[in-house]
Amino acid sequence: MIANHRRIFVIGDTQIKPGVPHDAMRWIGRALVDYRVDVVIHLGDHWDHPSLSSYEKPGSISLEGLRYSEDVLSGNVAFATLCAPMEEERAKLVDGKRKQWNPELYYIMGNHDVRADRAAANDAKLVGTVGSDKCDTRNWTRVPYLKPICIHGLYVSHFFPNQHSGKPIGGEVGARLNKIGASFVQGHEQGMRYSNRIMSTGQTQHGLVLGSCYLHREGYRNGADRLWNGCAILNDVKDGEYDLMLLSLKYLCRKYEGVELFDFLKAKYPHGDWEHHK
């Protein structure tokens, strides 16, 4: 890659919890190596933390049997799976020297990730036992929740809050570009949305929402989950401009397993409901 023109790999919300497949983490990890990216950005909500959901009352049937320790462990195992191909590649020696490939790694904290911090803040006896510090993001730079950072001209956050209400800026991506005022990347919302606009200066500003990168169904969507799931590569990034290349989980499954995603899941997890991946 020519100096000052970077290749950035963006991973949407992965929402790992006990009992869901982690296969996509292995495929994404291999893709990070194969595409030899300069920067990796995970948009957050890897640790789903269903046991700490504020939408369910303590003791409710929905929370029965859920354990915080299992939430953390499942997320940590899946994150290690994601990182393994990259760590193995970097550990290889060429002519007695370790490879120089050393991508920048950013983990953007999401609202599900910080559920543990909120629980501890609301109950002093949990301090030191429950918290996002238990989420093992390894050697990635951890970006605080809703603290936007600028990476090669791209503003990145789990979502961008409205300055008056604190709620996420919503609507069409083109309208969000008007409010945010610069190229941005965010997660938080299921599916994929993208738009751009050409400024009077000739610069193109890009808006990308990449909020789902998982194989399972989310029960709260009531079956309305035939959505795009996957990652994106931003090629030739400079000053917030780039060429967009999408990598769906369907594509990554064909690339690394040699079969269609629905067929792979049906064969490996025959008792699961995978109709949304047909």
> Per-residue pLDDT tens for 180-208?
999 999 999 999 999 999 999 999 999 99
The three state secondary structure string of 221-278 is HCCCCCCCCEEEEEEEEECCEEEEEEEEHHHHHHHHHCCCHHHHHHHHCCCCCCHHHC
Burial class (CB in 10 A: 0-12, 13-18, 19+), 186: buried
Q: How far is CA 72 from the centre of its chain?
A: 16
pLDDT tens for each residue of 82-140: 999 999 998 887 777 777 899 999 999 999 999 988 888 888 877 888 899 999 999 99
Q: At what angle do helices 249-257 and 23-34 cross, to 10 degrees?
A: 80
Lowest mean pLDDT among 6-15, 44-53, 145-154: 44-53
What mean pLDDT is predicted for residues 154-165? 95
Label residue 59 by pLDDT band (50, 70, 90): very low
| CA separation, residue 70 to residues 49, 76, 134, 159 (Å) | 9, 10, 12, 27
Element housing 98 (H / E)? strand 97-98
Cα 253 to chain centroid distance, Å, stands at 17
Would you state the pLDDT for residue 2?
53
pLDDT value of residue 97: 74
Confidence (pTM): 0.92
What percent of the chain shows pLDDT beyond 70?
91
pLDDT at residue 62, as a whole number = 39
Q: What is the mean pLDDT of residues 70-89?
A: 96
The whole-number pLDDT of residue 218 equals 82
| Residue 225 pLDDT level (bands cut at 50, 70, 90) | low
Ordered domains of the chain (ranges, CATH): 6-277 (3.60.21)
- Give residue 67's pLDDT: 86
Mean pLDDT of the chain: 90
Quote the pLDDT of residue 278.
87
Angstrom distance (rounded) from CA 30 to CA 23 = 11
pLDDT of residue 221: 52
- Judged against a pLDDT cut of 80, whether residue 222 lies above it is answered with no
Beta strand 204-210 pairing with 184-186? parallel
